[in-house]
């Protein structure tokens, strides 16, 4: 069975009981010798559904097999999109590899959901598992957080309404919106007509494919098909960006992993009043203050949000989440040790509870937007709104690099499975937020230091 390790990587762990049982079952069933994988899987599925004394072992073998399909689906997603959107299969495994091979109690792993919904008459189990893994809500959310909306351009345009286009492209001129609306309406007329005809002929329509040259010519007879195709692709890109921003619940920003030179915030913004070094020093001081304060606020807000969502499902789970977060980041405990401390049965359950990569991503997104708002307010003290608008992209780049550097450091520290210290900026600020006593002590020390300083002046 493919299982998740505490470090976030996966391992293939043989289950001796299942291996011995399937070998004996194979030898006792001559009709299965030389049969296809699908035949064996169907046999096991029917045996599980028979509720006989062999059902538990048949189910365990199916769960083992499905776990390999889940891991393979993650590999496929990473191979297809990972390079462009900055993630690997190892980023996806913690989201879906949640079966530890133990007896199923309250929590239902993805492998069980796949098997319970599987219909042998409709598709092979491998196809079913691949489809459900790639359509998993956590996988979709993860991809959206990185700006990846996994739908073809043609399915996207087929789904977009004219009103939706107008709502998404409000930054364009009226003439540009009208031209794009005309293009989309023509696309709908031709493309939807042909899909309806295909459905009537074959009983169902296939996946949305790129328009044929004949369709492109009919969509816009006065333009070359290649030009029509480019225009449709451009429109699809704009609509995709809008949908990603809406589903992420935040405005469009530069990706956090964008590569650029790491320059200082004041030099990159090219502030006016360069001769006024005092103004720039004050700006940099405020920036440093905003940088940490907004990080603290992001950590607190996102942690409280995670805990609140857990409390809605199970009141005690919100407290478990905060305890596990503290034990991991502030005490450096492994997932297995945390499971023992908070009463969970396995390290996999702790990994699923913490969702560290998603937690860091949401903190980074919230932090970026708060920091950007504060910095823009400070910049307006030193330059005109027109000048700020002109350097907006530069500002996004700098803030993206600054926030991403902190989260990259945190991610690297989280990979340390043993003897992990509280060294990263993220961990230090998180521990201060989650440890009221430590925070109060720190505040008292600062107040005493200020009082002593005043006495000595």
Task: Kindly state whether residue 400 falls inside one of the protein's structural domains.
Answer: yes
Q: Do 133 and 157 lie in a common domain?
A: no
pLDDT recorded at residue 271: 43
Last residue of a domain, one of 112, 145, 178: 145
- Asked whether residue 140 is assigned to any structural domain, the reply reads yes
Phi and psi, residue 50, nearest 5°: -75, -15
| pLDDT higher than 90, residue 269 | no
139/18 same-domain check:
yes
Domain end (from 213, 248, 283): 248
Q: Do 116 and 201 reside in the same domain of the chain?
A: no
Asked whether the CA dihedral 355, 360, 341, 440 is positive or negative, the reply is negative
Q: Are residues 275 and 412 in the same domain?
A: yes
* Position 340 in a domain: yes
The per-residue pLDDT of the chain, averaged, comes to 77
Residue at 28 is within a domain = yes
Helix (H) or strand (E) holding 445: helix 436-456
Q: What is the pLDDT of residues 189-238, one digit of tens each?
A: 999 898 888 877 776 656 778 888 899 999 999 888 888 887 888 888 78
The span from the CA of 267 to the CA of 261, in Å, is 12
| Count of Cβ atoms closer than 10 Å to residue 109 Cβ | 22
Shared domain check, 211 and 106: no
Under 8 Å between Cβ of 93 and 136: no
What integer pLDDT is reported at residue 226 of this predicted model?
80
Both 58 and 163 in one domain: the answer is no
Residues 157 and 141 in one domain: no
- For 383-421, give one letter per residue: b (16+ CB within 10 A) or e: beeebeeebeeebbbbbbbbbbebbbebbebbeeeeebe
pLDDT at 389: 65
- Are residue 42 and residue 79 in the same domain, yes or no? yes
- Please check whether residue 6 is in contact with residue 351, taking contact to mean a CB–CB distance below 8 angstroms: yes
Question: Based on the domain organization, do 31 and 140 belong to the same domain?
Answer: yes
Flag whether 257 is in a domain: no
Of 120, 145, 170, the one marking the end of a domain is 145
Tell me what the mean pLDDT of segment 427-447 comes to: 59
pTM beyond 0.85: no
Same structural domain, 424 and 281 = yes
Q: Give mean pLDDT, residues 409-419.
A: 73
- My answer on whether 68 and 181 are in the same domain is no
Same domain? For 127 and 158 the reply is no
* Mean pLDDT along residues 9-32: 78
Q: What burial class does residue 32 get, using C-beta atoms within 10 Å of its C-beta: 0-12 exposed, 13-18 middle, 19+ buried?
A: middle
Element (H, E) at 129: helix 125-134
Q: Please state, in angstroms and rounded to a whole number, the distance separating the CA atoms of residues 252 and 114.
A: 34
Contact 132, 114 (CB under 8 A): yes
pLDDT (average), residues 83-87: 74
Is residue 253 a part of any domain in this protein?
no
Instruction: Answer whether residue 449 shows pLDDT above 50.
Output: no
Q: What is the pLDDT of residue 34?
A: 58
**pLDDT (0 to 100) of residue 90:** 86
Quick check: is 260 in a domain? no
In this structure, of 112-126, 139-153, 228-242, 340-354, the range with the lowest mean pLDDT score is 139-153
Give residue 99's domain range. Answer: 2-145
Q: How many residues does the chain have?
A: 457
Number of structural domains in the chain? 3
Residue 175 has pLDDT above 80, yes or no: yes
Question: Residue range 86-114: average pLDDT?
Answer: 86
Percentage of residues of the chain with pLDDT beyond 70:
77
Reference 320, options 301, 345, 289; nearest CA is: 345
Contact 98, 38 (CB under 8 A): no
Residue 259: inside a domain, yes or no? no
């Amino acid at each position: 069975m493919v299982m998740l390790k505490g470090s976030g990587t996966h391992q293939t762990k043989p289950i001796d009981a299942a291996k011995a049982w399937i070998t004996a079952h194979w030898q006792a069933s001559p009709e299965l010798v030389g049969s296809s994988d699908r035949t064996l899987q169907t046999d096991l599925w029917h045996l599980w559904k028979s509720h006989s004394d062999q059902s538990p072992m048949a189910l365990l073998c199916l769960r083992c097999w499905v776990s390999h399909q889940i891991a393979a689906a993650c590999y496929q997603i990473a191979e297809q999109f990972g390079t462009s959107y900055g993630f690997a299969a190892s980023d996806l495994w913690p989201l879906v590899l949640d079966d530890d091979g133990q007896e199923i109690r309250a929590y239902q792993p993805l492998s069980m959901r796949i098997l319970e919904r599987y219909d042998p008459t409709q598709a092979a189990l491998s196809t079913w598992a691949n489809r459900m893994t790639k359509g998993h809500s956590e996988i979709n959310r993860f991809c959206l957080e990185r700006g990846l909306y996994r739908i073809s351009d043609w399915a996207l345009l087929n789904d977009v309404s004219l009103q939706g286009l107008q709502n998404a492209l409000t930054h364009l001129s009226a003439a540009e919106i009208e031209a794009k609306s005309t293009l989309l309406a023509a696309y709908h007329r031709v493309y939807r007509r042909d899909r309806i005809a295909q459905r009537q002929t074959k009983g169902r329509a296939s996946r949305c494919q790129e328009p044929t040259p004949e369709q492109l010519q009919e969509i816009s007879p006065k333009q070359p098909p290649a030009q029509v195709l480019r225009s449709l692709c451009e429109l699809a890109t704009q609509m995709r960006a809008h949908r990603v921003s809406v589903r992420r619940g935040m405005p469009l920003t530069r990706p956090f992993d964008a590569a650029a030179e790491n320059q200082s915030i004041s030099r990159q913004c090219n502030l006016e009043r360069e001769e006024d070094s005092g103004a720039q020093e004050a700006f940099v001081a405020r920036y440093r203050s905003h940088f940490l304060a907004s990080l603290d606020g992001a950590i607190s807000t996102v942690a409280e949000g995670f805990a609140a969502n857990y409390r809605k499902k199970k009141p005690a789970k919100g407290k478990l989440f905060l305890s596990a977060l503290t034990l991991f980041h502030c005490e450096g405990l492994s997932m297995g040790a945390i499971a023992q401390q908070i009463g969970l049965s396995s390290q996999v359950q702790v990994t699923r509870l913490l969702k560290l990569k998603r937690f860091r991503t949401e903190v980074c997104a919230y932090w970026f937007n708060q920091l950007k708002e504060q910095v823009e307010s400070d910049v307006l003290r030193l330059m005109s709104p027109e000048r700020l608008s002109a350097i907006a992209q530069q500002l996004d780049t700098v803030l993206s690099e600054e926030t991403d550097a902190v989260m990259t450091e945190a991610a690297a520290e989280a990979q340390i499975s043993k003897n992990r210290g509280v060294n990263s900026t993220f961990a230090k600020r998180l521990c201060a937020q989650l440890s009221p006593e430590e925070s109060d002590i720190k505040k008292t020390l600062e107040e005493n230091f200020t009082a002593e300083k005043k006495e000595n002046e």
